[in-house]
Amino acid sequence: MQIHISTNDGVPIYLQVVNQIKFLIASGRLAAGAELLPIRVLASQLLVNPNTIARAYRELEMAGIVEKRRTNGTYVSEQGSPLARRERVKILTERIDALLAEASNLGVELDDVMKLVQQRYASIQSTRVNQSLQNQE
């Protein structure tokens, strides 16, 4: 559970924790049913106030992304998957918006952007195939 806190950009720390845990779940690095680090452990690891971590976990719990089980521990919800999908779309949308803005600044037309995306996809796929072939040898 890798989380990185920055105090330079003004985003409240609890929100940084919430966003990064959402990201970890959406990207599959925290699977449904996985246990989050205990509040004190994460607080000591990140060197932030335990109340801040507790606040972040509460937000995630209210959003149904994680759940408390009995008294011990906080776990990624089993029904977290549709939410994770929505979160994935949201993350991608932000990236796409940034890409489109950049393309527009550079004067690249949408058609060309689409072509480039497909080229990159093909190139990445062929690298992957080569790698897995090599691994099999």
What are the residues binding another protein (CB under 8 A)? 5, 7-13, 40, 43-44, 46-51
Please give the biggest Cα pair distance in the chain: 56
Minimum CB distance to another protein, residue 47 (Å): 5
Residue closer to another protein by CB (options 40, 68) is: 40
Minimum CB distance to another protein, residue 20 (Å): 15
Minimum CB distance to another protein, residue 124 (Å): 34
Residue closer to another protein by CB (options 11, 114) is: 11
Minimum CB distance to another protein, residue 15 (Å): 9
Residue closer to another protein by CB (options 16, 77) is: 16
Task: Name the 3-class secondary structure at 135.
Answer: helix
Alpha helices in the chain (DSSP H): 13-26, 39-46, 50-62, 80-105, 110-136
Judged by phi (left if over 0) then psi (alpha if -120 to 50, else beta), residue 3 lies in beta
Residue closer to another protein by CB (options 9, 78) is: 9
Handedness of CA 41, 42, 47, 50 (dihedral sign): negative
CA–CA dist 40, 38 (Å, integer): 6
